Amino acid sequence: MIDNFRDHAANERTYLAWIRTAVALMGFGFVIEKFDLFLGYIAVAIHQVNIPHNRHFAEEAGLAMMIVGLALVIFSTWNFLHNIRLIDAPDQHPYRAKLPNLVLGVVVAALGIFLILYVGFALSSKMP
């Protein structure tokens, strides 16, 4: 039997949840960027110039989401490996991963608010 198997399994489940979240963030960033490009193509295709889209904003917001996803992969991998060492260590250590989790949560929340404002402004400019 593996020593501290339950702790290692919980650590691995947590790591995989972080990776799943990072992949979702990167995918969502890609969709944001490409959807705005799609709006531009639709405006040209139907000869309508007033479809609200802002390519620079979508590129920056999408890139920001992809960067946050990549940072999440790096952070979660480092945290996973660090926790493996702590689980196998003979002495006890305090849990210290609260601040990085809060920082990532605030960054993701800020990006979410930013995207909500973007969609809100796009919808309000579309209404007569």
Kindly report, residue by residue over 12-70, the tens digit of the pLDDT: 999 999 999 899 989 988 887 777 666 666 666 666 555 555 556 777 778 888 898 99
pLDDT of residue 81: 93
Question: Which of 31-35, 77-81, 115-119 has maximum average pLDDT?
Answer: 77-81
Contact 58, 33 (CB under 8 A): yes
What burial letters (b/e) apply to 82-108, b meaning 16+ CB within 10 Å? Answer: ebbebbeeeeeeeeeeeeeeeebeeeb
pLDDT of residue 48: 59
Q: Which amino acid is at 68?
A: V
pTM: 0.69
Q: Is the pLDDT reported for residue 88 higher than 70? A: yes
3-state secondary structure 65-124: HHHHHHHHHHHHHHHHHHHHHHHHCCCCCCCCCHHHHHHHHHHHHHHHHHHHHHHHHHHH
pLDDT of residue 9: 93
